[in-house]
Structure 1
Amino acid sequence: MGTIQALRGTRDILPEEVVYWQKVEATAREILGKAAYQEIRTPIFEETGLFERGIGEATDVVGKEMYTFLDRGDRSITLRPEGTAGVVRSFIENGLFAQGGVQRLWYTGPMFRYERPQAGRQRQFHQIGVEVLGSSDPRADVEVIAIANNILQTLGLKTLRLDVNSLGNAEDRQQYRQALIDYLTPYKNELDADSQDRLTRNPLRILDSKDERTKEISLNAPSILDHLSSDSKRHFDRVLQLLTDLGISYELNPRLVRGLDYYTHTAFEIISDDLGAQATVCGGGRYDGLVAQLGGPDTPAIGWAIGLERLIILLQKLQEKPRQFLDFYVVSRGEKAEAQALILGQKLRQLGFSVELDLSGSAFKKQFARADKSGAVGCLILGDEEAENQSVNLKWMTTKEQQTISQVDLLQKTEQLRKEIDSYQHSGVTSGLSRLF
């Protein structure tokens, strides 16, 4: 048998790259926490009907891209292709609506779609998303947009563009759907094959076609903004005014429809030009009818999702790898010294220090070379002599200054050690041993 490899459309995220993921997750967690969003974790697979009812059977996601299978109980199961439907199912099933007020939730994790793999788009992909349930206030629309913008800017993305549109309510959308069909039908034979199929099933998706002739035909298509009711227009105008009040610039994009059937009113995408080519890094919108559609009470809602793979590609091209500081690298040689090194390293970890213990058993020279590459602030060295005396040789890696001290003293000087390490992390140098021991 040959070597087993990862399935097409999946990939390993190795430690060199994971540091970017950790930076993104930590940044999002901090910003969302400060805005009173609470994390929710839902199952990776759900009943297929959840997505057929929630996303829409006429969508590409349901029709072409879902990983669906029968389990051993002959139940139709689907790996989640997006996060919102599962969060809404949980909101209903667990009675979160009964708590009253507005529920601010966020999630992160893998999603699954059977698509042609390409850079930044895998069959197993990852998202961070938010859902605000229980508010029809335009301020909720603007809050989620502002938070997404804050996360992306904090991560270092500078040239961001916000595209916004309104899909109106269900009646507005139905009227616009018919107007679009009426406009496109005479051009049916000139549309690409996918758009011909969508003409009666999901005509709004034709506006998102990448086919050049279809795009050319769509240029003169009616605008959904001309089919909004007075209430829908009032809501959208308020959203735009609040964005202006916050200093968030935007561009109206009447062709922005998003790919899922549950969207109503505000739809938006945040696009980055940092790679020289446009890349959508965040997309979302309002979905006021979804909770009721899935069997819950009438509950307005809005949310977004950030695609992590595409965001990580951006960060890797824009930034150096985030630095991970290691406090101590422990080098030891000899049976007694190696046993003491293990104990000393564990005690330092319990005191809050990050410690890497060299487990190679190789000569000191090779261990010192690894210590140099580790990025550690200090190196702790134990040989036969140190083991016999219950001491340790502490060497600061930048200044090469070193001193032999007792292991007991080392463990008691935690406050001074932390100051020394913090000095290095902020300035790149240590202040020296003389004041410490």
Structure 2
Amino acid sequence: MGKLPRPTAMPRKNRLFIRDFPHLTQLRGHNGEPLFRQENDYITFEIALALAAKRYAVAIHSYSLAAERIFLMVTAKDRQSLSRFVQYIGRHYVPYYNRRYQRYGALWESRYACSPLQAGPYFLIVKRFIECDEDGTHSHHSDGLNPKNIIAPHPVWLELADDEIQQQQRFKDFCRSPVNSVLVTKICNTLNQNCLLATPAVSRRLESQLACSLRVRQRGRPRQYTSVKIDQWQKLEQHASIFLRQRGYQQVRLSMLEQEPLMATNSSTVIKPIQLRRDGTFGCLQMISRCSTSRSMSRVWYSGTMFGQEYCNHTIQQRDQIGVEAFGMPGIDIEIEQLVLQAHFFQRLGIASQIALHINMLGDINAFTAFRRALFAYYQPHSHLFTPEQTQQLMSHPEWLGNSPEDWLHQLAIAAPQLDLFVSQDSQQRFIRLQLALNQAGIVWHHDNHLYPSNEYCQVVFEWRSNNNVLSRGGRYDACASRILGYPIAACGFAFLVEPIARLLEQHEAQHHSLPSVDIVIIASQPRVGAQTVLLARQLRQQFPELRIATDSSQLRMATRHKNSRNQGAKITIEMEGDGYSLRLYKDESTDYSITNVDQISDQLGPILWL
């Protein structure tokens, strides 16, 4: 009888490595064992670190040593150099550690974790993640060896300032900004899954080149999404309708077919052909051009399906969105209002902790146009090396070339003109005021200087992202709106993208089963005041017609009725006392309450519902 064949082990996944990209690397102790116990341990490890970097030509840009883990951010010439670099550290430090503490065996937990990162938008973020605690203070480096002898400055670091003192000061200022928990989670997930930390555009291009997925995968079996479910769309639209009406935005209905606004010249009028609706902006501008009373100042919103053409592609992409536009307000107040509005909307949906705000200052249209011309002149001598897609980007959006994953183009982009050189002092001060306002509103944001729009935005452009999915995007587009309408007008807007929002809600349905079915529940503490709760609900519906208000006059225990109110998603629970006049007002799931009465409840609900 022949022998059974030996079972073959599943091949181990190759560690992701991208040449010329910095790599975030992590080492942890076996079974949670501490990696350092005394100060001399740190010194010994740093000596091994410096020797390994020199031996294998690895540039160390940042590192931190803690008893529970080690973080390194390095750039290696190839995958083998990075692996041998880590192995060399282990061969020199682990025997020392085992002899000193009379132990044997492995010190590291499994293989080292590694994640390549796009330096432009993420270098400083990851450096802060490595070196700083949540309060901005620096984590441990030993006192025995000067870290400056180990650190190799990265080009992104050198761009901060002209000398080392200013570079350190600017990084300290950066570390004092609010911690973005979403970005921290994203860094941890990419590191644990050996994925790429990069912008969506660069991730897609590298995935196309390498023919594999590079982005973080969600837990569980992937779901098939064809389109947004009707009930999800209706709930989101209903939720947005209530939310936006409370903030003074009026709904407008847009046609599925549209004709771009007429563009008048001195001698003739250019008539655009009728086409499927690309976005809601043109429809809103048409409404503004027809309604003279709306030209001074107006706030509108719309919803529906848009049909946009893919960049460098002739296919039409269908997407559902809820758009918000404001006209006639040139100051930053409207930008702050819309950013705060979006933050509160995501809070209301319960997904605020899963998203991050990315924002960039473009300057006025003249500054951004001058920046593009400088980039065109810089890249033009090398255009014979470009692919057809890159050539098209050079003609229309040369700033996108800086996000290219190709090594030679990435190196070329390092010395390209920077947008900061073209932005005026007024625009920079404007951006500072916007940042201060966001900090005061408690909104965590990230200045993404690689965020550039596909449309004609100016001054500010922003995106709300969850991992690599964009949930909302927008900005200011004064010059575009003025060119289309033929007279100066200020314009600012954004669009909620329904499908990625619905996906995020569905992925977390275990914690967030559905959108709130009611906004307010009024509970009768005693059966004799059941009729008064009905009258109070009728009064509040008249004063707040957008709200969903229910009453509860059941004979269940009071704790059970409060629990049922929370299960229905009620933001406010009102408990009417036995006199039919006194009220207890509970907010969200808090057990604390405030005392009020039937005459004062309307005034107290207004400020609460505004949030």
Q: Which residue of 2 aligns with 1:246?
A: 441
1:308 paired residue among 480, 492, 498: 498
- What amino acid is aligned across from residue 289 of structure 2 in structure 1? I
1:196 paired residue among 381, 391, 394: 391
Q: Structure 1 residues 247, 324: CA separation in 2 closer, same or farther (over 3 Å shift)?
A: closer
1:155 paired residue among 341, 349, 354: 349
Q: Which residue of 1 aligns with 2:201?
A: none
1:42 paired residue among 220, 240, 254: 254
Q: Structure 1 residues 219, 104: CA separation in 2 closer, same or farther (over 3 Å shift)?
A: farther
Q: Which residues of 2 match residues 265-304 of structure 1 at below 5 A?
A: 265-273=459-467, 278-304=468-494
Q: Which residue of 1 aligns with 2:292?
A: 95
CA deviation after TM superposition for structure 1 residue 418, in Å: 6.8
Q: Distance in 1 between matches of 2:286 and 2:433?
A: 30
2:333 paired residue among 131, 135, 139: 139
CA deviation after TM superposition for structure 1 residue 244, in Å: 1.5
2:565 paired residue among 421, 426, 433: 426
Q: Distance in 1 between matches of 2:516 and 2:555?
A: 17
Whether contact under 8 Å (1:205, 1:259) holds in the other structure is: no
2:306 paired residue among 111, 122, 126: 111
Please give the per-residue CA displacement for 1:202-227, whole angstroms capped at 9, x wherever unaligned.
32343465767655643553321221
Q: Distance in 2 between matches of 1:427 and 1:135?
A: 39
Task: Work out whether 1:78 is the aligned partner of 2:275.
Answer: yes
Secondary structure of the structure 1 residue equivalent to 2:427: helix
Whether contact under 8 Å (1:191, 1:213) holds in the other structure is: no
Q: Distance in 2 between matches of 1:182 and 1:303?
A: 32
Q: Which residue of 2 aligns with 1:407?
A: none
Q: Distance in 2 between matches of 1:209 and 1:200?
A: 15
CA deviation after TM superposition for structure 1 residue 144, in Å: 0.6
Q: Distance in 2 between matches of 1:427 and 1:150?
A: 19
CA deviation after TM superposition for structure 1 residue 133, in Å: 0.6
Question: Which segment drifts farther, 203-212 or 123-132?
Answer: 203-212
Task: Work out whether 1:166 is the aligned partner of 2:361.
Answer: yes
Q: Which residues of 2 match residues 325-404 of structure 1 at below 5 A?
A: none
- Unmatched 5+ stretches in structure 2: 1-224, 265-270, 518-537, 539-549, 569-611
Q: Which residue of 1 aligns with 2:233?
A: 21
CA deviation after TM superposition for structure 1 residue 23, in Å: 2.8
How many residues in Structure 1 have an aligned counterpart in Structure 2?
298
Q: Which residue of 2 aligns with 1:123?
A: 317
Secondary structure of the structure 2 residue equivalent to 1:123: strand
Q: Distance in 2 between matches of 1:160 and 1:227?
A: 31
- What amino acid is aligned across from residue 222 of structure 1 in structure 2? P
Secondary structure of the structure 2 residue equivalent to 1:284: strand
Please give the per-residue CA displacement for 1:283-328, whole angstroms capped at 9, x wherever unaligned.
1000112332122531111110111111111111111452898xxx
Q: Structure 1 residues 323, 165: CA separation in 2 closer, same or farther (over 3 Å shift)?
A: closer
Q: Distance in 2 between matches of 1:313 and 1:51?
A: 38
Q: Structure 1 residues 81, 207: CA separation in 2 closer, same or farther (over 3 Å shift)?
A: farther
Q: Structure 1 residues 313, 259: CA separation in 2 closer, same or farther (over 3 Å shift)?
A: same
Please give the per-residue CA displacement for 1:258-302, whole angstroms capped at 9, x wherever unaligned.
111x211011111113xxxx2111110001123321225311111
Q: Distance in 2 between matches of 1:203 and 1:228?
A: 17
Task: Give identity over the alignment, percent.
Answer: 25
2:418 paired residue among 203, 223, 231: 223
Please give the per-residue CA displacement for 1:240-259, whole angstroms capped at 9, x wherever unaligned.
12112212121112221111
- What amino acid is aligned across from residue 371 of structure 2 in structure 1? Y
Q: Structure 1 residues 210, 41: CA separation in 2 closer, same or farther (over 3 Å shift)?
A: farther
Secondary structure of the structure 2 residue equivalent to 1:113: strand
Q: Which residue of 2 aligns with 1:328?
A: none
Please give the per-residue CA displacement for 1:325-383, whole angstroms capped at 9, x wherever unaligned.
8xxxxxxxxxxxxxxxxxxxxxxxxxx9xxxxxxxxxxxxxxxxxxxxxxxxxxxxxxx
CA deviation after TM superposition for structure 1 residue 43, in Å: 1.3
Q: Which residue of 2 aligns with 1:372?
A: none
Secondary structure of the structure 1 residue equivalent to 2:420: helix
Q: Structure 1 residues 220, 28: CA separation in 2 closer, same or farther (over 3 Å shift)?
A: farther
Secondary structure of the structure 1 residue equivalent to 2:248: coil
Question: Which segment drifts farther, 196-205 or 33-42?
Answer: 196-205
Please give the per-residue CA displacement for 1:388-415, whole angstroms capped at 9, x wherever unaligned.
xxxxxxxxxxxxxxxxxxxxxxxxxxx9
Secondary structure of the structure 2 residue equivalent to 1:146: helix
Q: Structure 1 residues 427, 286: CA separation in 2 closer, same or farther (over 3 Å shift)?
A: closer
Whether contact under 8 Å (2:358, 2:464) holds in the other structure is: yes
Q: Distance in 2 between matches of 1:211 and 1:88?
A: 40
Q: Distance in 2 between matches of 1:182 and 1:315?
A: 45
Q: Distance in 1 between matches of 2:453 and 2:424?
A: 20
Whether contact under 8 Å (1:263, 1:287) holds in the other structure is: yes
RMSD (CA atoms): 3.5
- What amino acid is aligned across from residue 19 of structure 1 in structure 2? D
Under a length normalisation based on structure 1, what TM-score does the superposition of the two structures give?
A: 0.60
Q: Distance in 2 between matches of 1:212 and 1:156?
A: 41
Whether contact under 8 Å (2:402, 2:410) holds in the other structure is: yes
Whether contact under 8 Å (1:267, 1:285) holds in the other structure is: yes
CA deviation after TM superposition for structure 1 residue 143, in Å: 1.0
- What amino acid is aligned across from residue 396 of structure 2 in structure 1? R
CA deviation after TM superposition for structure 1 residue 129, in Å: 1.1
Task: Work out whether 1:32 is the aligned partner of 2:244.
Answer: yes
CA deviation after TM superposition for structure 1 residue 134, in Å: 0.7
- What amino acid is aligned across from residue 195 of structure 1 in structure 2? Q
- Unmatched 5+ stretches in structure 1: 1-9, 54-73, 326-351, 353-414, 430-437
Whether contact under 8 Å (2:349, 2:515) holds in the other structure is: no
Q: Structure 1 residues 115, 296: CA separation in 2 closer, same or farther (over 3 Å shift)?
A: closer
CA deviation after TM superposition for structure 1 residue 103, in Å: 0.9
Q: Which residue of 2 aligns with 1:409?
A: none
Whether contact under 8 Å (2:262, 2:484) holds in the other structure is: no
